[in-house]
Structure formats: structure tokens, C-alpha cells
Amino acid sequence: MFALVDGNNFYVSCERVFRPSLNACPVVVLSNNDGCAIARSNEAKALGIKMGAPWFQIKHLAESEGLVALSANFALYGDLSDRMMSVAAGLGPRQEVYSIDESFIDLSGVRGNLVERSHKMRARILQWVGIPCGIGIGSTKTLAKLANHIAKTAERKPGSYREHLAQVCNLAALAPAELEAVMAATPVNEVWGVGRQISKQLNESGITNVLELTRLDAAMAKSRWSVMLERTVRELQGTPCIDLDQAPVPKQQIACTRSFGHPVTEFGDLNEAVTEFASRAAQKLRKQGSLAGQVLVFIRTSPFRRDTQYSGSTTVPLRRPSADTAVLVNAALAGLHAIYQTGFKYAKAGIMLLGLQPDKVQQIELDLPDDDEQEDRGRLMTTLDTLNQRYGRGTVLMASAGLAGDRRSWSMKQERRTPGYTTCWEDMPVVRA
């Protein structure tokens, strides 16, 4: 049995923790360079603002509807994510962090009423960290993800599902008739891994809701569509067959995380793990044709051991968006250095690439090819050396050389970014005394 714990409108909820006045108004968080909406409050969704809506198209709502737009503040989101994840880890013996705001919890061996336990966990995350979550439970990850969608929708749109499914939904606890009704009321495009293309094709074949997809023959799904859809159908039917490594890549971010087989204490081992994670994430990033703007790295002890607990995370901004393995690894390792503390038994580490943007809109001075091949690295280095010789030392530096905090004149447009409330002494929220 799996649970998926997912922060509601996560980036917006993070902003609201320190600006409670935003609770009443529609809020969107904008992507790098203040381009388009990457998170929307329920009020913003109600205004009809779509995910990814360009800012210039919704700008007029600021005046007419009181829409508040903020630039993404990844340092804040990274810190609150770490808090949320480490509380959520207490729900079951194994946690897999899927993205900045989602983690799967393996509930094997957890006794008692899972719905009650999850409601308590949800209340704790809201009280302690300040983030409202939805929790979905199912016998496979795909079902847990579906349950999570139902839990959130039932809360956001009363009447869409029955009230008792709001906030926490356990599909495995529903009577067969209710399970069928719930599945029939959910369109196929809400299923994890069913993209726009496939859901269009499914619709054309008369499969519009989840119940119909669940009743599809798995072998047929494979022959007519893909192995991926076959797996999805099997998962919907209750047979677990998706590892997080093969899971669909979440939108707007790429995560590579792992629980260690046995506790790790040495920096060297973490160093190795984080290097591997960052390299794999960089590969995924290039495969989908994106660049990352920030690298989040975290390390954590296990809440199920009686050792002293520690959880550290930091978000390292890149000087400019990149998909270069060397740049991403360097950033991740710089972050690891900052958060590593000796004397703890680490059970889990991971990295996330945030602030993704298509590589086509790259603001870059040099057109540098992929670094996978030594040859290209060599070409890069030659170019670098030539430029430095010609225009003076330091004209062109590895981006990682700029990580130490010197802000160059080149910087991203982030006019509406809130302060680093939890990560910067000067930016601490002010309370009136």
C-alpha cells in the first residue's frame, strides 16, 4: 500500500506562510524571468488561469481581480519542502521523494486506520510547517496518485466527489460500487503518466474515464499504445509495476533521490551519491530539452531509527540556467558541503532540479554543445582559453566559479520575488511588537 503526500498549490502555499495577507486573494507564482504561471492558488484557478499561462495574458487581472503575481523563490520552497518531507516521512517506513512537493510513502506493515492516521499527518504538516496537503492512498503508486487527485479535487470543488474523500482519500478502503463511481467520474487525462496525446487517442477510442481505462486489457494497451500505458493499466488494476526511476518525469522539476541500503556517515559516500544523482538528473534534463535554474540538495536521517535526527537542505541558484552536467554537479556538491554535518547516520539523499525552462529560450553568449563527449568538453575548454587569452584572464569562467555569491550584473528578471524568509538573516520576516 502506498500513500502520496502532496502539498496543495505548493509554491503559493509557501508564500502564504509568511504573507498571511495573501490568503484572501488570487495568487500566481511566475517562472524564471517572470514568464508564465507555474503555481496558482485555488482563487487564481477559479479565475480561469491555466497552468503555464503567460504573464502578459493574465496581467490585466492584477487590476480587475486583485491577482497577485510573485517571482519564484526557490530558496524558500526548498526549505519548506525539506520540512514537509521530513514530517511526512513519519507516515510509513519508507519514503520516496518524487518532486519538491510530492513524496510516496510505503505503508507496508503500518497498522490501524490509514485514513485516520493520514488525517493526523495532514494536520501536523499544516500546523508545524504551514503547508496544506492532500494525501492519496492506494495499492499501487498510480492509484495513490489518483487518490491524491481525488482528495484535492473533492476539497477544492465541493460536489465533484463525495465529501468524505476530501483531503485524504483511500481508494483501497472504498466499497467496489463507490470505487467504480469515483473512477467513472474521473477523466483519463488525470491518470499519472497519461499525457495529452495518449488521452486524446484514448478518447477517440471511446475510453474517456478512469473506469474504462482500468477495464482495458493490459496486453491490448501494450499492442495498441505502449509499454508505458500497459504498466499504467496494470497499476490501475492493482498490480504494482512502476519504480520511481521509470516514473513519468514531473512537470517543472526533475528529482533524483534514494534511500540508502544502510546508513551512511562519511562525506565521501554522500559526495559520490550526490554526484551520481546530479549526473542522472542532468541527463533527464537534456533528454526533455530543458535547462535548470536551481539545484536543490538534501540529506536526511531516518525517523524510524532511534539515532539523533538531522535534516539539511539547500537550494543553490545557478548563475544562468544550464543543462551541463559539470555545472549541475558542482552546484549540488557546493550545496552538500554547506549542509553536511558529521556524526549523523544518513538514510537518504537527493537532488532536485528546479526552475526548468526550455533550452530554446536560453540566454547565453556562447553556443556550447552538450558535454557528454570528451571531445565537446575539449572544444569548450579551448574556446574558454582562447577567449581568456584574447580578452584577459577571467573573461570567461566556469559558471561554478560564480557560485560563491558574487552577483554579476547579469541576473534573472525576478522583480516580484519575496525575501529568503527562512534562509537569509537579513530577510527574516518581521513581526510587530
Binding site for other proteins (CB under 8 A): 19-21, 23-24, 83-84, 86-87, 127-130, 309, 311, 343, 421-422, 428-433
Least Cβ distance, residue 310 to other proteins (angstroms): 8
Q: How far is CA 369 from CA 247, 372, 379, in A?
A: 28, 9, 9
Can you name the residues that pair with 354 across neighbouring β-strands?
294
Q: Which is nearer to other proteins, 193 or 312 (CB)?
A: 312
Least Cβ distance, residue 271 to other proteins (angstroms): 24
Least Cβ distance, residue 39 to other proteins (angstroms): 20
Q: Which is nearer to other proteins, 238 or 419 (CB)?
A: 419
Pull the grid cell for residue 75: 530558496
Least Cβ distance, residue 21 to other proteins (angstroms): 3
Least Cβ distance, residue 212 to other proteins (angstroms): 42
Q: Which is nearer to other proteins, 184 or 428 (CB)?
A: 428
Least Cβ distance, residue 129 to other proteins (angstroms): 6
Q: Which is nearer to other proteins, 118 or 142 (CB)?
A: 118
Confirm if 241 and 234 have CB atoms less than 8 A apart.
yes
Residue 3: which H helix or E strand, with range?
strand 2-7
Nearest-10 crossing angle of helices 74-88, 10-18: 100
DSSP assignment letter at 394: T
Q: Which is nearer to other proteins, 77 or 225 (CB)?
A: 77
Q: Which is nearer to other proteins, 236 or 349 (CB)?
A: 349
Least Cβ distance, residue 419 to other proteins (angstroms): 11
Confirm if 244 and 235 have CB atoms less than 8 A apart.
no
Q: How far apart are CA 277 and CA 281, in angstroms?
A: 6
Confirm if 423 and 75 have CB atoms less than 8 A apart.
yes
SS3 71: strand
Q: Which is nearer to other proteins, 170 or 301 (CB)?
A: 301
DSSP letter for each residue of 297-322 = EEEEE-TTSSSPP-EEEEEEEEEEEE
Q: How far is CA 103 from CA 35, 81, 250, 252, in A?
A: 28, 10, 12, 16
Pull the grid cell for residue 288: 526533455
